[in-house]
Structure 1
Amino acid sequence: MAKVSQIQEWTSVKRFVGNKDVEFSEITFDSRMASSNALFVAVRGVHVDGHLFISKAIEAGCSIVVCEELPNGEYENTTFVLVEDSALALGEIAAGFYGNPSEKMVLVGVTGTNGKTTVATLLHGLFRDMGFESGLFSTVANFIGSEKLPSTHTTPDPVALNKIMQRMVDAGCKYCFMEVSSHAIDQKRIAGLSFKGGIFTNLTHDHLDYHKTFDAYLKAKKAFFDGLPKDAFAIVNVDDKNGMVMVQNCKAHVKTYSIRSMADYKAKIVESMFEGMQLVINNEELWTPFVGKFNAQNLLAVYGAAASLGCDIREVLLSLSRLHSVDGRFQTMRSASGITAVVDYAHTPDALKNVIETINQIRQPEQALLTVVGAGGDRDKTKRPEMAGVAVSGSDRVILTSDNPRSEDPQSIVDDMMEGVDLQSKIKVLTVVDRKEAIKAACMLAKRGDIVLVAGKGHEDYQEIQGVKHHFDDREVIKEIFDMI
């Protein structure tokens, strides 16, 4: 339980209207979840303004409202807490209410377009392997130590974040690793959290349906590093042209990593195959089951974070060699007939290019690459032709299909993708809207030794069509087809 008067200890309050001694035992920003025990925070969201639902929250029994402006009408027995920014206040109030759990652990945030899930998940696995209980917030799943919790957002809302982090503290977690999405930064979902470190992976074309411009997308990512305290660390990928841009105004201690140029943490790929690769990291050799330049960068980010946190480097390298790939990230499967399938979450042009380049660096001249790829509905349309163009330029055959069409007509999405295929390349492109049939077609066209890349959904076990989620797992579909051929 907490009193309204305590809120001024957690966030900046312009004024109170009503009884400051009223108590609350939960926090919500959804009027449908309001109750007599709840504090309702009216947040101005992207699509909906919570101020329009203050009366609904009060009708549901809520007697405490945090808002930027008072609602019209008279509301007896209701306490209003006026703030400048209710989204910011929500994060700070949630942190204070749950006892600031992020201050009781070493919290490290990972942001960038691609690689967030891999880096955060590997850090979680690495520190647990070295004997430190740790928590994880990721796109694939959240973890309190070994306890797996479902993940609905890359970065949860502030109330869920702090509630789960308090459970992490109670479970003895010393570290917490978190994917930090650009949406979460922009919407101030990480307000009130105390980060000890931040990692930047890369910045490429994505989420322009939300941010509108690449510059706005960049600024959202950069804001995370601008907010790091001076006793924190910031590790950035200088192979990305925006790496040093991220830390221009950063007060934290900056470190760099690269596979191409001079950096604090440097790696070279000595040998690469589908089963893994041999690396040299800062003059130390490492064999890892991960594959590709992008994964070498991911491993460097993990190595750098562990080094910045004072871990024994030899122990770090030993643990890294024991870690395995993240679900749906360059996950390989092989049929009895000798066909290799690669399932990857690549859903941006740059991520798809990285995966295709990695396969092309490993495969032999006689091995063909057949790529199955789609693009999500109700999302950034400008990347659709780019995705198809990337697939066509690096593959022998391409099958364009559905991803998560959501409310859009899947055929129209495929048509948008076809705009990126030049006239000369159309001869090697098929369009099969049904994703299962598209995967089946690729596997049937493949010969012994060939590689089938199924990109875009990775770990996801559903396909969303007209707002309804249907069970669909690329890996299950491939296994079913492989068992038939």
Structure 2
Amino acid sequence: MELHEVGAILNSKTRDSVMEHSKTIIRGISYKSQDVQEGYLFVAIKGYQQDGHLYIQQAIDNGACAIIGEEKWPNLSVPYFQVENSRKALGLISDHYYDFPTDGKILIGVTGTNGKTTTSSLITHILENNGSSCAFFGSTKNIINGKVYPTINTTPNLLEINRLLAGSKDDVVVMEVSSHALTQHRIEGLSFDYALFTNLSHDHLDYHGSMEDYFQAKRKLFEMLKEDGKAIVNTDDYWGQQLASQLVGHGVPTITIGEYGKRDVKLESYASNPRSLLLKENNEIISIKPLLYGLHNMYNIAIAYGTAKQIGVEKEGIVQSIERFEGVEGRFNVKHLNNGATLIIDYAHTPDALFHCLNTVREQVSNKVIHVFGFRGDRDTTKRREMISISSEMSDCYILTFDDLNSVSQIEMKNTLIGLQEKYGNEKGKVITDRTLAIESAINMAETGDWILITGKGYEKYQQRYYYPVQDDEEAALYFLNEKEE
């Protein structure tokens, strides 16, 4: 790409300085000044913690040949393009730079509060087991051409997506789409063949302000459907029902999923032990024996089934794939411990996810349920009371402990947990701030047949050091058991 093309793509008025350098070859694009190399185009983005405009000179010193930004920035030694929205510009330019790498691929976007990772992973599993190669963008990892790449955000920005897809030979792109990515224009310019809605519940209100604003953020995905694109929506969810009504009103083909009323894919019945699921589609009953636990996962299965059918996968192939799907790392992973107890590790960090997690455990066990969880620093504080209420009602014992502290001090978080327990907890609960000691305490009190549920982190690594030299929840539990045996 040559520099003069940037102005045309952005519909930006070119200055004389741009014309002087019009034949300059752009050798890369970055929004991080420290990553800029000779011949790069630097895009200055106003973030929520840092403003990229403050690093324009650093980018130039590192070799930037041109800058895109939102503010007036006179007297630069390289051409400068002023735009209304740098994030949009980044996506637009990266599309051209990487020659539109999503063209010719089926693009599937999955949004919702809970279930995005499981649903996306399940769809990928079904499609790959039925002859399609899938690229995957999710909160746990990115996969291109079968190779796994680390991920920082649930949804990368379009520059990262295009960079990874530039050499992709995959037929399908499956993408978790967060509300942050939608409001921050991270995927501006993508057009989806299928947009999926799992559910909407209390989360991220520190960012969005209200449930209505949170819903409107999620709704943006469905405005990015291709002209012949389709929506697949869980209409048992209140917000899903609102979404489906709006989409149908605008003539968008919408496949409804649910247990109640008339649905295109209906959850006819579900048994927890032994696990079995009956779906109904076009008056035909589809029998499935899933490996996944819980009613919430049956909704995920139904959404994945409906999506795969729309793409053209045969029913038998979908069912066989679902029955072989073992789940996602960190999502209701079951470990049978050598002390006779069962350990569950799950990422649940919202009231709705916590309810479904505990309810699923209750479906499996009549013995004691011990729950270990905490709250992340600098995150939505309005959901904490409800989460404690759910755990105090549904568990036999709960332990409040540290999660990621982020910028919150240990003393502040300790006082927060103690205050929450005193105000909203009951006699079932206690506070043990060290997460590994909290897990040790849970295992100590567990007897044969009891279930221990640890939520909030899944298989994410710890950000701070604890008493036991371990890196995640599973390692903490197994470390203590091994030490106890010795």
TM-score (norm 1): 0.92
User: What residue number does 1:211 align with?
Assistant: 208
Alpha-carbon distance, 1:105 to partner: 1.2
Residue correspondence of structure 1 range 212-251 to structure 2 within 5 A: 212-247=209-244, 248=246
Q: Which residue, out of 277, 280, 283, partners 1:279?
A: 277
> Which letter does structure 2 place at the counterpart of 1:63?
C
Structure 2 counterpart of 1:294, which letter?
H
Quote the residue 1:190 is aligned against.
187
**2:472 counterpart residue number:** 473
* Aligned amino acid, residue 184 of structure 2: Q
Q: Which residue of 2 aligns with 1:335?
A: 337
Where in structure 1 do 4 or more consecutive aligned residues deviate above 6 Å?
Answer: none
> Could you say if the C-alpha distance between residues 179 and 407 of structure 1 is closer, same or farther in structure 2, counting changes exceeding 3 Å?
same
Does residue 181 (structure 1) correspond to residue 178 (structure 2)? The answer is: yes
Contact 1:108–1:176 (8 Å) recurs in 2 = yes
Q: Could you tell me which residue of structure 2 aligns to residue 291 of structure 1? A: 293
Between 320-329 and 218-227, the greater mean CA deviation after superposition: 218-227
Q: Which moved more, 1:410-419 or 1:227-236?
A: 410-419
1:8 deviates by: 5.0
Q: Distance in 2 between matches of 1:155 and 1:351?
A: 20
Within-5 A mapping of 1:114-193? 114-168=114-168, 172-193=169-190
What SS does structure 1 have at the residue aligned with 2:165? helix
Q: Deviations over 1:130-162 (max 9, x none)?
A: 121111111111112431111111111221111
* CA–CA separation in structure 1 for the residues paired with 2:224 and 2:7: 22
Contact 1:343 1:458 in 2 (8 A): yes
Residues 1:315 and 2:312 are matched in the alignment: no
Distance in 2 separating the partners of 1:114 and 1:407: 25
Local SS of the residue matching 1:102: coil
> Matched residues in 1 for 2:453 and 2:414: separation?
18
Q: Give 5+ residue unaligned stretches, structure 1.
A: none
Is the 2:191–2:224 contact (alpha carbons within 8 Å) kept by the matching residues of 1? no
Cα distance in 1 for partners of 2:365, 2:70 equals 59
* Range with greater deviation from structure 2 (328-337 or 423-432): 423-432
The CA distance in 2 between the partners of 1:244 and 1:163, in whole Å, is: 36
What does the per-residue CA deviation read over 1:173-193, in whole Å, with 9 as the maximum and x for residues that have no partner? 001111111111111110122
- Deviation of 1:394 after TM superposition, in Å, equals 0.6
Corresponding residue number in structure 2 for 1:75: 76
Q: What is the CA deviation profile of residues 218-264 of structure 1, one whole-angstrom value per residue up to 9, with x for unaligned ones?
A: 21111111232221111111111000333525664211111333211
Gaps of 5+ in 2: none
Aligned partners of 2:371 and 2:454 also within 8 Å: yes
Distance 2:180 2:419 in 1: 29
Give SS of 1:45's match.
coil
- Residue 12 of structure 2 corresponds to residue 13 of structure 1: yes
Decide whether the 8 Å contact of 2:33 with 2:42 is kept in 1: yes
Look up the equivalent residue of 2:216 and give its one-letter code: K
Letter in 2 for 1:475: E
State yes or no: 1:346 paired with 2:357: no
Deviation at 1:60, TM superposition (A): 2.2
**Considering only aligned residues, what root-mean-square deviation do their CA atoms show, in Å?**
2.2
Aligned-pair CA distance for 1:441 = 0.5
Counterparts of 1:131 and 1:385 in 2: how far apart (Å)? 47
Shift of 1:11: 4.0
- Cα pair distance change 1:411/1:195, threshold 3 Å: same
Deviations 1:373-429 (A, max 9, x none): 111111112222222111111111011111111221345435435555577952211
State how many pairs are aligned.
Answer: 472
TM-score by length of 2: 0.92
Distance, in Å, in 2 between the alignment partners of 1:441 and 1:65 is 55
- Deviations along 1:14-68, one digit per CA (max 9) or x if unpaired, are 4455223221011011222223210111222223332232222222221211223
